[in-house]
Amino acid sequence: MSKILLCVTGSISCYKAAELTSLLTKKGHEVKVLATEDALRFVGKATFEGLSKNKIYTDLWSNDDEPIAHISLSQKWADAIIVYPASADTINKLAAGIADNLLGALFLANNFTKPFILAPAMNTNMFMHPATQKALQTLKDWGTKIMEPGQGHLACGDKGVGRLPEASEALEFLEKVLN
């Protein structure tokens, strides 16, 4: 099976990333998780480490046994990278080439020879904002695969586009991209 790098960013929906981790491992994929500091405000390290059976990557500077993790994970280890959920902040930073954390550095080290997938999750206004739409188009133009967000009830109480696709949908999308 494939080696999947699951990148989790700060969003109320990042609890679904735990489910995706579980589904991927049950299907026989090897999973490593990179979580931003904001993601860890919602779901703890122990959850991802327990589900993936691997240590979690959180910081550009604290990977003593793997000091150049942004290179080794993206270029040497992963068969595919999925950012699930991809927050508005992360999407806009990636499109601007900002590498102020491990995920940003990893994205800049990416040469798009392997699938790089984003699953946006945010409030409708944030998703529809011209900056976010421009960033998504830029990322698509560079070769990033973008999952379309779902519509419905959002964590803020609004209804609209911006829901993180269910973990089963992300698994299906990822496996189609890999095949």
Tokens of 13: 């929906």
Q: Write down the catalytic residue from 109, 156, 161, 178.
A: 156
How many whole angstroms separate alpha carbon 6 and alpha carbon 172?
A: 15
The C-alpha angle 33, 160, 145, rounded to 5 degrees, equals 40
Is 156 one of the catalytic residues? yes
Strands, E assignment, 12-158 = 30-35, 56-57, 80-86, 116-120, 145-146, 150-153
Q: Is the N-terminal amide bond of 165 cis, ω within 30° of 0?
A: no
The sign of the CA dihedral 55, 42, 28, 118 is negative
Q: Which amino acid is at 56?
A: I
The residues carrying an active-site annotation are 156
